[in-house]
């Protein structure tokens, strides 16, 4: 499948995987419907999936329903068994006793009333999963804790309840519920809803969040099968830093590209033994800038600069390599330099050459 | 007034694009809109077929080609009937030879021009700019493609999602294809890693479409945008198509201008280069042909004149042994275009 050697994980990594696998086996499956705003239709989609599963013979129970439920949702829920809530919280004791195959839980980000077993509903979900019950649930992007700053920038509001993004990451499946903003605004109380532009921005945020979650899951899957990934869906830019390179331009451009592509920015330098004090200082300032721009910074070891970059680039699934180049004497061209060797060997990523500013 | 285009974007057959489109069409009909089905591919799916109840279907046109009968969308009949909204399944379809237009998306353009709103379905792998990436991930070279600008021009792109697990379950239950075909599909294209990668591409593309629209809106983000211009250097080499797609994609994301240049050494035009220039024009890239002895110098001069900020090119062919001590075009260009960035696009091979 891959033309590169398959990677062999170290023993610690293997043990971690075995444990994770065992945990997963006894654990119930978690499926999350992710929406970008209220009224997008995620609850209906969730309950409808419950209905279809029941029709296919699975033992499905409703554990939490948001009130007021629309007539369409109510019609679906009426065809399902409901375990009544206990003072506004999921009745975990009743759920464990009833022990269905699948339970449906709306409003994942809800908080429980004081005195409940868990302060948050998502923690109830975790308990249900630990008891081997599969959970299908629904949540909007404004309730994902790590996304709340971005949501607040868009809507100037912040939801009171939230769940950690790590919980979303744990889900076995995440499904995006998408619809045009007009569909959400139709017949809505205007004061409570973001405007069409804000909705579009939330929609983009939700899609990118889902893409990132999936990307990490895909990476996990490939790692599990010991395969080096091929060209992925995400742009990953590696800026190669040296003391002499025009690092400011390269990093700024890398940052801009990564932002536009919603990709990753990585900066790396290859450790050199003989390096003067002046070069050391320049390199340090480049690394500081890289970190300021949010790049992941790596120091590579290796006798051969080109090989170190190539190995790292493949391992990191990069799609673009940014490289500085000095305009040396053309007569030395036949001494194929690092640039030429990198271009020759780079089958999987583009090489972008940035001339050194103090060239000639 | 031109009609509005709504695209239901998915990542594979069976995720529910057509179903969702029909669902919206029924809602429109209930609100009193004049809706008609221009083309619909039932694939024998029961739930989907049930959804067309009550919708008018404009009969397909029968065509004979190479001794067989084919059915295509009857664009002229739809234009004559002129509904307010037309449903057109499978946006990326290529018409049988002898049809008035080569591609279904061109038929849709004709409907839009006539003021008809169109709802259509598309899988992400049919987008021209993703062709190489899809091939790299799945090993499948998708033949039927739609230029990105056609989809960029849509008024609305709706992402239709289904998890790969749910999709594979549907295949297993025989909802998507007949059992034998389903089994084959699950072992090949519909393996989980393929589906996951395609799905991620579809999500990112749907997000990209939204961002394009937000930025072109009057109240777009006021973040300062550099005027980037990308120049593609075209040769007759086969990897040129990949080069063009890649550069076009980068230009789209950076919102940069995009032009292509072919430098010919002799007055006569190379047929292969001409084909690549044509392909570039189809993707709305402005093309230029210049004659020059020194290729690198000609490119650098042209680029400087056109205020190009970034040059895209393929790897130089290896030099024959008697030229080993000479510079390659890439080396020369990097030296001559020292005020620009030069990107050498990888020849991604499986």
Interval A272-327: pLDDT, tens: 877 888 888 988 999 999 999 999 999 998 888 889 999 999 888 899 999 988 75
Q: Is the pLDDT assigned to residue B223 strictly greater than 50?
A: no
Beta-carbon separation of A218 and B163 below 8 A: no
CA-based nearest residue to A91, from A67, A68, A62, A69: A62
Q: Is A33 on the interface with B (CB under 8 A)?
A: no
Q: What is the pLDDT of residue B324?
A: 62
Q: What is the pLDDT of residue B268?
A: 83
Structure tokens at A351: 């090489």
Q: What is the pLDDT of residue A106?
A: 94
Q: What is the C-alpha separation between A290 and A267, in angstroms, rounded?
A: 7
**What ipTM did this prediction achieve?**
0.83
- Helix segments in B37-74, DSSP class H: 46-50
Give the distance, in angstroms, between the CA of residue B157 and the centroid of all CA atoms in the same chain. Answer: 14
User: 3-state DSSP call for residue A257?
Assistant: helix
Q: What is the C-alpha separation between B193 and A226, in angstroms, rounded?
A: 13
Q: Give mean pLDDT, residues B30-50.
A: 90
Q: What is the C-alpha separation between A131 and B254, in angstroms, rounded?
A: 49
Q: What is the C-alpha separation between A27 and A50, in angstroms, rounded?
A: 19
Residues of B in contact with A215 (CB under 8 A): 200
Q: What is the pLDDT of residue A15?
A: 67
Q: What is the pLDDT of residue A13?
A: 64
Q: Is the pLDDT assigned to residue A189 strictly greater than 90?
A: no
Which positions 249-308 of A are in contact with B (Cβ < 8 Å)?
253, 256-257, 260-262
Q: What is the C-alpha separation between B178 and B172, in angstroms, rounded?
A: 10
Is the backbone of residue B275 left (phi > 0), alpha (psi -120 to 50) or beta? alpha
Q: What is the pLDDT of residue B328?
A: 79
Q: Is A343 on the interface with B (CB under 8 A)?
A: yes
Q: What is the pLDDT of residue A240?
A: 93
Q: Is A354 on the interface with B (CB under 8 A)?
A: yes
Q: What is the C-alpha separation between B24 and B133, in angstroms, rounded?
A: 32
Q: Is A137 on the interface with B (CB under 8 A)?
A: no
> Residue A352: which of B6, B330, B343 has the nearest Cβ?
B343
Among A248-257, A349-358, B123-132, the range scoring the smallest mean pLDDT is A349-358
Beta-carbon separation of B196 and A214 below 8 A: yes
Q: Is B203 on the interface with A (CB under 8 A)?
A: yes
- Residue A155 vs residues A34, A138, A194, A198, B117: alpha-carbon distances, Å: 18, 21, 6, 6, 31
Q: Is the pLDDT assigned to residue A130 strictly greater than 90?
A: yes
Q: Is the pLDDT assigned to residue A206 strictly greater than 80?
A: yes
Give the alpha-carbon dihedral of A52, A58, A63, A69, to 10 degrees: 10
Q: What is the pLDDT of residue A256?
A: 87
Helix (H) or strand (E) holding A167: helix A165-170
List B72's β-bridge partners, or say none.
B61
How many CB atoms lie under 10 A from the CB of residue A40? Answer: 27
Residues of A in contact with B160 (CB under 8 A): 178
How many CB atoms lie under 10 A from the CB of residue A78? Answer: 10
Q: How confident is residue A251, by pLDDT bands cut at 50, 70 and 90?
A: very high
> Residue B159: which of A176, A325, A355 has the nearest Cβ?
A176
Looking at residue A230, the DSSP 8-state letter turns out to be: -
Core vs surface per residue B229-243: b (16+ CB within 10 A) or e: bbbbbbbebebbbbb
User: 3-state DSSP call for residue A296?
Assistant: strand
Return the CA Rg of chain B.
23
Q: What is the pLDDT of residue A101?
A: 96
Its pTM stands at 0.84
Residues of A in contact with B210 (CB under 8 A): 200-201, 203-204, 207
Q: What is the C-alpha separation between B22 and B55, in angstroms, rounded?
A: 9
Residues of A in contact with B215 (CB under 8 A): none
Which positions 300-339 of A are in contact with B (Cβ < 8 Å)?
320, 325, 327, 330, 333-334, 339
* Residues 6+ away with beta carbon under 8 Å from B17: B8, B9, B10, B121, B122, B123, B160
Cα dihedral sign, A224-A230-A236-A241:
positive
**CB-CB contact of B195 with B170 (8 Å):** no
Q: Is B163 on the interface with A (CB under 8 A)?
A: yes
C-alpha distance from B100 to closest chain A C-alpha (Å): 33
Q: pLDDT tens, B76-101? A: 999 999 999 999 999 999 999 989 99
What's the mean pLDDT when you consider all of chain B?
89
Q: In this structure, what are the phi and psi dihedrals at residue A179, rounded to the nearest 5 degrees?
A: -160, 155
> Residue A179: which of B158, B211, B254 has the nearest Cβ?
B158
> Residue A359: which of B246, B338, B343 has the nearest Cβ?
B338
Q: Is A193 on the interface with B (CB under 8 A)?
A: no
Q: What is the C-alpha separation between B345 and B129, in angstroms, rounded?
A: 14
Core vs surface per residue A255-280: b (16+ CB within 10 A) or e: bbbbebbbbbbbbbbbeeeeeeeeee
What's the mean pLDDT when you consider all of chain A?
86
Q: pLDDT tens, A256-270? A: 899 888 899 999 998
> Residue A176: which of B196, B203, B253 has the nearest Cβ?
B203
**CB-CB contact of B154 with B7 (8 Å):** yes
Residues of A in contact with B342 (CB under 8 A): 352-353
Q: What is the C-alpha separation between A186 and A39, in angstroms, rounded?
A: 10
User: Which parts of A24-181 are beta strand (E)?
Assistant: 30-35, 60-64, 81-82, 102-105, 134-140, 173-176
Q: Is the pLDDT assigned to residue B116 strictly greater than 60?
A: yes
C-alpha distance from B326 to closest chain A C-alpha (Å): 7
Q: pLDDT tens, A138-182? A: 999 999 999 999 999 999 999 999 999 999 998 999 999 999 998
Q: Is the pLDDT assigned to residue A360 strictly greater than 50?
A: no
Q: What is the pLDDT of residue B347?
A: 81
Q: What is the C-alpha separation between A242 and A224, in angstroms, rounded?
A: 34
Residues of A in contact with B326 (CB under 8 A): 333-334
Q: Is A209 on the interface with B (CB under 8 A)?
A: no
Q: pLDDT tens, A60-108? A: 999 999 888 889 999 999 999 999 998 889 999 999 999 999 999 999 9
Q: Is A185 on the interface with B (CB under 8 A)?
A: no
**CB-CB contact of A258 with A296 (8 Å):** no
Give the alpha-carbon dihedral of A57, A62, A63, A65, to 10 degrees: 160
- Residue A49 vs residues A45, A46, A137, B180: alpha-carbon distances, Å: 6, 5, 11, 26
User: Which parts of chain A are beta strand (E)?
Assistant: 30-35, 60-64, 81-82, 102-105, 134-140, 173-176, 236-241, 264-270, 296-300, 320-325, 350-355
**In terms of CA atoms, which chain A residue is nearest residue B157?**
A180
CA-based nearest residue to B151, from B48, B242, B276, B252: B252
CA angle B263, B266, B272 (to 5 degrees): 60
Q: What is the C-alpha separation between A72 and A77, in angstroms, rounded?
A: 9
Q: pLDDT tens, B304-338? A: 999 899 999 988 776 666 666 677 788 888 888 88
Q: pLDDT tens, B287-304? A: 999 999 998 999 999 999
CA-based nearest residue to A88, from A120, A61, A59: A120
């Amino acid at each position: 499948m891959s033309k590169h050697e398959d990677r062999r994980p170290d023993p610690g990594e293997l043990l971690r995987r075995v444990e994770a696998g065992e945990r997963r086996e006894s654990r119930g499956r978690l499926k999350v419907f992710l929406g970008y705003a209220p009224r997008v239709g995620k609850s209906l989609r969730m309950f409808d999936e419950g209905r279809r599963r029941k029709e296919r013979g699975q033992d499905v129970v409703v554990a939490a329903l948001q009130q007021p439920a629309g007539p369409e949702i109510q019609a679906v829920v009426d065809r399902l068994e409901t375990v009544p809530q206990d003072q506004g919280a999921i009745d975990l004791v009743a759920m464990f006793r009833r022990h269905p195959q699948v339970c449906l839980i709306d409003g994942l980000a809800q908080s429980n009333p004081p005195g409940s077993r868990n302060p948050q509903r998502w923690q109830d979900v975790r308990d249900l999963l630990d008891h081997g019950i599969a959970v299908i649930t629904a949540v909007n992007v404004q309730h994902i804790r790590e996304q709340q700053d971005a949501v607040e920038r868009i809507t100037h509001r912040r939801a009171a309840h939230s769940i950690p993004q790590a919980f979303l990451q744990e889900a076995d499946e995440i499904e995006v519920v998408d619809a045009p903003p007009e569909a959400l605004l139709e017949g809505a109380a205007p004061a409570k809803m973001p405007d069409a532009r804000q909705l579009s921005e939330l929609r983009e945020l939700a899609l990118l969040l889902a893409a990132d979650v999936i990307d990490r899951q895909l990476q996990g899957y490939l790692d599990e099968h010991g395969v080096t990934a091929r060209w992925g869906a995400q742009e990953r830019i590696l800026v190669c830093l040296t003391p002499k390179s025009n690092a400011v331009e390269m990093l700024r451009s890398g940052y801009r590209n990564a932002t536009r592509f919603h990709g990753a920015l990585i900066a790396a330098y290859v450790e050199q033994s003989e390096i003067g004090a002046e070069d050391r200082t320049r390199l340090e300032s480049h690394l500081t800038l890289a970190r300021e721009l949010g790049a992941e910074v790596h120091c590579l070891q290796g006798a051969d600069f080109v090989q170190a970059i190539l190995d790292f680039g493949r391992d990191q699934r990069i799609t673009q390599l940014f490289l500085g180049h000095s305009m040396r004497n053309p007569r030395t061209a036949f001494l194929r330099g690092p640039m030429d060797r990198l271009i020759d060997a780079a089958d999987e990523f583009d090489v972008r050459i940035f001339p050194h500013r103090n060239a000639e | 007034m031109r009609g509005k285009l709504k695209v239901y974007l998915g990542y594979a057959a069976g995720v529910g694009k057509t179903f969702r489109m029909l669902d919206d069409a029924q809602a429109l009909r209930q609100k009193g809109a004049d809706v008609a089905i221009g083309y619909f591919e039932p694939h024998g799916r029961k739930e989907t077929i049930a959804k067309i109840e009550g919708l008018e279907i404009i009969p397909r046109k029968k065509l004979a080609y190479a001794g067989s009968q084919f059915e295509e969308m009857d664009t002229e009949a739809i234009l004559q009937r002129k509904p307010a909204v037309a449903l057109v399944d499978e946006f990326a379809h290529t018409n049988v030879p002898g049809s008035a237009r080569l591609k279904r998306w061109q038929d849709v353009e004709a409907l839009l021009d006539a003021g008809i709103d169109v709802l259509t379905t598309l899988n992400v792998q049919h987008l021209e700019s993703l062709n190489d990436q899809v091939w790299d991930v799945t090993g499948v070279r998708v033949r039927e493609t739609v230029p990105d600008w056609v989809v960029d021009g849509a008024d609305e792109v709706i992402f239709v999602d289904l998890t790969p697990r749910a999709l594979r379950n549907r295949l297993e239950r025989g909802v998507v294809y007949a059992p034998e075909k389903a089994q084959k599909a699950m072992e090949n294209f519909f393996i989980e890693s393929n589906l996951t990668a395609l799905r991620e591409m579809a999500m990112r593309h749907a997000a990209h479409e939204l961002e394009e629209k937000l930025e072109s809106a009057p109240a777009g983000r006021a973040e300062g945008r550099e005027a980037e211009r990308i120049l593609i250097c075209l040769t007759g080499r086969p990897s040129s198509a990949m080069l063009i797609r890649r550069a076009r994609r980068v230009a789209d994301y950076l919102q940069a201008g995009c032009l292509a240049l072919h430098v010919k050494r002799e007055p006569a035009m190379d047929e292969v280069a001409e084909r690549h220039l044509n392909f570039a024009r189809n993707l709305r890239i402005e093309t230029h042909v210049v004659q020059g002895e020194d290729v690198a110098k000609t490119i650098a001069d042209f680029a400087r004149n056109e205020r190009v900020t970034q040059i895209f090119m393929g790897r130089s062919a290896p030099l024959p042994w008697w030229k080993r001590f000479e510079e390659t075009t890439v080396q020369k260009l990097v030296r001559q275009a020292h005020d620009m960035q030069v990107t050498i696009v990888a020849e991604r091979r499986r």
